[in-house]
Amino acid sequence: MRIVPAVDIRAGKCVNLVQGDYGKETVFSDNPLEQAKIWWDELREGIIHIVDLDGAKSGKCEILPFLEALGREGIPYEVGGGIRTVDTIERIVSAGAERVIIGTGLVKNPELLQVAVSKWNDKVVVAIDAKNGNIALEGWTQETNFSAVDIAQRAQRWGARRVIYTDILSDGMMKGPNFIATQQIAQSLRIPVTMSGGVSSLDDIRKAKALEPFGVDEIIVGRALYLKKFTITEAKQILSSE
């Protein structure tokens, strides 16, 4: 299992939201590129998770120059938020992205995933962002009646190579992830799952590692790293232990 540090960007700054609420924002850095470099210097393997919060609301990529800068630095990254057209995916992949995350675009335009997989194969990842078991869209501002498990299984049938599952009610709360919901998603799929939302301690990292047999092989961490609850190195030591 791997730790995946997060860099969420809004208005050019590195921020963190509570439960996806744009009104509950903490700014951790005025320079997202420097923050990504700090995480990568300690990580040195794997991938950095980038979220375009402005793009998630506007429906278009708002951070392309930042992504291009990451590519020039040689930092592997995945990016989500506002990725709803093939043209946007093309530009992001050209900027150097290792993975492109489709969320709202999958539900509103199912053909997008199928076309993306046919062109970019294992670079295509699906975000399953759920509140009380149902999908939320448009930067988590729009709740739906779509079952998270059903959409995840649909994404798998359409060719997604990985699912990133985020429990919205856990995100940013520093009270631990929703391990039960994550396990349910993982057990319903044959493709790997990345856990996201709520990691607050090394004990959470240990519990996450226990989900590895079910197909959970990555865990995204944001706020806990910024608040220095633990370091990337400490998390890696736990995840690499037998």
Active-site residue identified among 8, 52, 171, 204: 8
Phi, psi of 158 (to 5 degrees): -85, 0
Whether residue 8 lies in the annotated active site: yes
Q: Provide the token pair at 177.
A: 């992830």
What's the sign of the alpha-carbon dihedral 184, 188, 190, 196?
negative
> Three-state SS for 31?
coil
CB atoms within 10 A of CB 93: 19
Whether residue 129 lies in the annotated active site: yes
For residue 7, which of 69, 61, 65, 49 has the smallest C-alpha distance?
Answer: 49
Active-site residue identified among 54, 129, 171, 204: 129
Q: Say if residues 4 and 46 touch (Cβ distance below 8 Å).
A: yes
Burial class for 240, CB neighbours closer than 10 Å (0-12, 13-18, 19+): exposed
Q: Which residue(s) pair with 27 in the sheet?
A: 15
Which residues are catalytic, by number? 8, 129
